[in-house]
Amino acid sequence: MQGNDQLGATLDDVVILEQTVEPWIILRRMVLVPSLQLILIVCLVMQMMVLFEKAFMALSSWYGRFLGPRPHRIYKCDPIEEDEELGSLAYPLVLVQIPMYNEKEVYQLSIGAACSLTWPADRLIVQVLDDSTDPVTKVLVEQECQKWRKKGINVKYETRKDRAGYKAGNLKEGMKHEYVQHCEYLAIFDADFQPEPDFLMKTVPFLVHNPRLGLVQARWKFVNPGESLMTTIQRMTLDYHFKIEQESGSSMFSFFGFNGTAGVWRISAMIEAGGWKDRTTVEDMDLAIRANLKGWKFVYVPDVKVKSELPGTLKTYRKQQHRWMCGAANLFRKMWKEILFNKGASFWWKFYLLYDFFFARKIGSHLVNFSLYNVVIPVAVLVPEINLPVWIVAYLPTIMTLLTATENPRLIHIIPFSVLFENVISMHRMKSTLIGLFEAARVNEWVVTEKSGGATNTKTPTPDSQILRRPSFISVNRINLSEIGFAAFLLFCATCDLLYGDDYYFVYMYLQSISFVVVGVGYVGK
95 beta partners: 125, 186
CB atoms within 10 A of CB 375: 18
Task: Indicate the Cα dihedral angle 481, 491, 395, 43, nearest 10°.
Answer: -60
Q: In terms of Cα–Cα distance, which of 75, 507, 99 is closest to 299?
A: 75
Q: In terms of Cα–Cα distance, which of 422, 354, 368, 375 is closest to 396?
A: 368
| Spatial distance between the Cα atoms of 436 and 324, rounded to a whole number of angstroms | 10
User: Catalytic site residues?
Assistant: 131, 284
Are the CB atoms for 184 and 267 separated by under 8 Å? Answer: yes
Q: In terms of Cα–Cα distance, which of 236, 516, 239, 244 is closest to 375?
A: 516
> Residue 462 — φ and ψ, nearest 5°?
-75, 155
Are the CB atoms for 308 and 253 separated by under 8 Å? Answer: no
Q: Exposed, middle or buried, 178 (CB in 10 Å: 0-12/13-18/19+)?
A: exposed
CA 124 to chain centre: 31
Strands 185-188, 94-100: pairing is: parallel
